[in-house]
Structure 1
Amino acid sequence: MTERPSNAAGSPAELAAALRSTGYLADDGLATAAFLAMQMNRPLFCEGEPGTGKTALAQALAQVLDAELIRLQCHDGIDASQALYDWDFPRQLLHLRALEAAASATGETLDADAVEASLYDPRFLLARPILRALQTSPSVLLIDEIDRADDEFEAFLLEVLTEHAVSIPEVGEIRAKEPPLVVLTSNRTREVHDALKRRCLYLWLDHPDLQREIQILHSRLPGVPERLAAQVAGAVRKLRQLDLLKPPGVAETIDWARALQLVGARHLDVDAAAATLGAVLKYREDADRIRVQLDTLLAS
């Protein structure tokens, strides 16, 4: 197996400090899982509710490693060609016409085999995210929301994540000189098969506790007043305990605090909350329900 070169983080604590410098606050469990994924050259499978920082972790790791972040967004019906490669048909067609024009001008006869071979030159290859990650060093490959893909796509990933190589019939095998750090995320809309999970290190991400979320606000919004940060984090925590269509994640917490700052709020009161509710709640039904409960929500 190809080894990934050692990086600046020599321990989970050092990695946590490096992540903190990017604005991502990692607890001991998260920092240890990410550190082991790098050292053991294993994909990191991150599962949890939407908004718990799974995608942001991959982004932060790319910053720490000074690596290119390459993202594959999964969706229903995604197949290997969308993730791996395609051929640039318009350029191939222009190339063929140029060959025909040159042959017509000189009176030469085109060799069909040679023409076909030239059409599948690597310069006409369109690299999709997985192929780009294998060709780019260093890189972090984020396979986002793998739970949206189907069983066939999971099976395709098994070989790629194990071998760090792909085979293209017209070109041959392309193998990573330095394997990308792979981060897979899942919102658990369906169970991902054990065969894929076995090839990964597993990490469950939950919403941060109150104090950590306050720390996140201060890290991402250095000028946020202490009282406002505490009130926003506390209110979001209460919102997550309600049966909402979309409970707010950490990104919404940050957006809400930022919105309140922009309207000049120094603390969270009913008027300020009502005016900025769209930063934290993204469904009309949720917003209508909470708007009439703001007094209770903001009570100490």
Structure 2
Amino acid sequence: MVTSPDELSAALESVGYLPDEGIATAAFLAQRLGRPLFCEGDPGTGKTSLAVALSQALSVPLIKLQCHEGIDFTQALYDWDFPRQLLHLRALEAASGGALDSELAEKSLYSRRFLLARPLLRALEESPCVLLVDEVDRADDEFEAFLLEILGENAVTVPELGEVRASVPPLVILTSNRTREVHDALKRRCLYHWLEHPSLGREVAILRRRLPELPERLATQVASAVRRLREMELLKPPGVAESLDWASALTALGRSELDAASAAATLGAVLKYREDTQRVVAVGLEAILAG
């Protein structure tokens, strides 16, 4: 347990994540109040990285549930290992010589040894931990309702085994890229924080922290150019991850300055759509680099 947002901020910085005051305060309150933290924002603003950094800073396991269209109960909570159950049943039949006690056999089939714990159940069993529910906006309404029930109780009942309750509520981070609106009921259960792209100074600091060999001038040039790209109407504006990729590519090529030639050679590190590349080239790399 950390005792203040400043202490949590220092712990996050020690593992390479540079939070602003808002992020540090929201994460601290989520931990202190035992409430999930719903992080929303554009792709590349550091939502997933926050959960990873919190697990490292707090020295607890990270358990990740990656949401997608069609995700269901068995993928998120638990399932039974049917192949192993079938082999076990055959072994019991062979050992009994045909006089198998069906009640005892059924009881042995639905024991903990055959239970496949998925991320939500693992988080309840292994807490304290950080549970990352990534891209919850990709799941459907039914899964949201199911998730709301689990997060509200910090417990689940497995009919064959009984209740599994977290001794300490996991620190839950839910992320959304806002591909659709998440229902108010889930948001009300959570603390909320919108993550913006970092300021120029903070993005330069992130680049220098992650890439210590990166010259400060080149870091500033990359961060400034990326900020101008974000102001354009691109299909996928670059995030911090793309800034890091661009700076890494320039460093690998031995470039000490970002000019039009080096930008053209490495544009694929920061732009991921052909239409975006065409638009930037049409505007002119010299104009973008010059601001």
TM tier, shorter chain? over 0.9
Task: Provide the C-alpha distance between the structure 1 equivalents of 2:131 and 2:281, rounded to a whole number of angstroms.
Answer: 40
Task: Provide the C-alpha distance between the structure 2 equivalents of 1:77 and 1:244, rounded to a whole number of angstroms.
Answer: 29
Task: Provide the C-alpha distance between the structure 1 equivalents of 2:226 and 2:7, rounded to a whole number of angstroms.
Answer: 30
Task: Provide the C-alpha distance between the structure 1 equivalents of 2:86 and 2:208, rounded to a whole number of angstroms.
Answer: 55
Alignment partner, residue 285 of structure 1 = 275
The one-letter amino acid paired with 2:188 is R
Alignment partner, residue 8 of structure 2 = 15
Shift of 1:289: 2.5
Which of 66, 71, 77 lines up with 1:73 in the alignment?
A: 66
Aligned counterparts, 1:127-138, within 5 A: 127-138=117-128
Shift of 1:288: 2.6
Aligned counterparts, 1:112-131, within 5 A: 112-131=102-121
* Structure 2: unaligned runs, 5 residues or longer: none
Matched, 1:56 2:49: yes
Matched, 1:223 2:213: yes
Task: Provide the C-alpha distance between the structure 1 equivalents of 2:261 and 2:26, rounded to a whole number of angstroms.
Answer: 42
Which of 182, 187, 190 lines up with 1:197 in the alignment?
A: 187
DSSP 3-state at the match of 1:46: strand
Alignment partner, residue 290 of structure 2 = 299
For each residue in 1:232-262, what CA deviation from the matched residue of structure 2 results, as whole angstroms up to 9, or x when unmatched?
Answer: 0000000000111110001110111011101
Task: Provide the C-alpha distance between the structure 2 equivalents of 1:27 and 1:200, rounded to a whole number of angstroms.
Answer: 20
Native 8 Å contact 2:93 2:99 kept in 1: no
Matched, 1:148 2:138: yes
Shift of 1:48: 0.6
Range with bigger deviation, 243-252 or 287-296:
287-296
Shift of 1:137: 2.9
For each residue in 1:201-227, what CA deviation from the matched residue of structure 2 results, as whole angstroms up to 9, or x when unmatched?
Answer: 110001011111111111111111011
DSSP 3-state at the match of 2:172: strand
The one-letter amino acid paired with 2:218 is L
Which of 8, 17, 31 lines up with 2:24 in the alignment?
A: 31
Moved over 3 A (4+): none
* Structure 1: unaligned runs, 5 residues or longer: 1-6
Native 8 Å contact 2:204 2:219 kept in 1: yes
Alignment partner, residue 253 of structure 2 = 263
Alignment partner, residue 139 of structure 1 = 129
Task: Provide the C-alpha distance between the structure 1 equivalents of 2:265 and 2:16, rounded to a whole number of angstroms.
Answer: 27
Task: Provide the C-alpha distance between the structure 1 equivalents of 2:77 and 2:83, rounded to a whole number of angstroms.
Answer: 19
For each residue in 1:110-151, what CA deviation from the matched residue of structure 2 results, as whole angstroms up to 9, or x when unmatched?
Answer: 111111111111110001110011111321100011111111
Alignment partner, residue 185 of structure 1 = 175
Alignment partner, residue 229 of structure 2 = 239
Q: Using structure 2 for the length normalisation, give the TM-score.
A: 0.97
Q: Using structure 1 for the length normalisation, give the TM-score.
A: 0.94
DSSP 3-state at the match of 2:71: coil
**RMSD of aligned residue pairs (Cα, Å):** 1.0
For each residue in 1:72-110, what CA deviation from the matched residue of structure 2 results, as whole angstroms up to 9, or x when unmatched?
Answer: 111111112210000001110110111111112xxx611
Task: Provide the C-alpha distance between the structure 2 equivalents of 1:10 and 1:173, rounded to a whole number of angstroms.
Answer: 32
DSSP 3-state at the match of 1:184: strand
Shift of 1:14: 0.9
Matched, 1:97 2:87: no
Task: Provide the C-alpha distance between the structure 1 equivalents of 2:63 and 2:266, rounded to a whole number of angstroms.
Answer: 33
Native 8 Å contact 2:155 2:165 kept in 1: yes
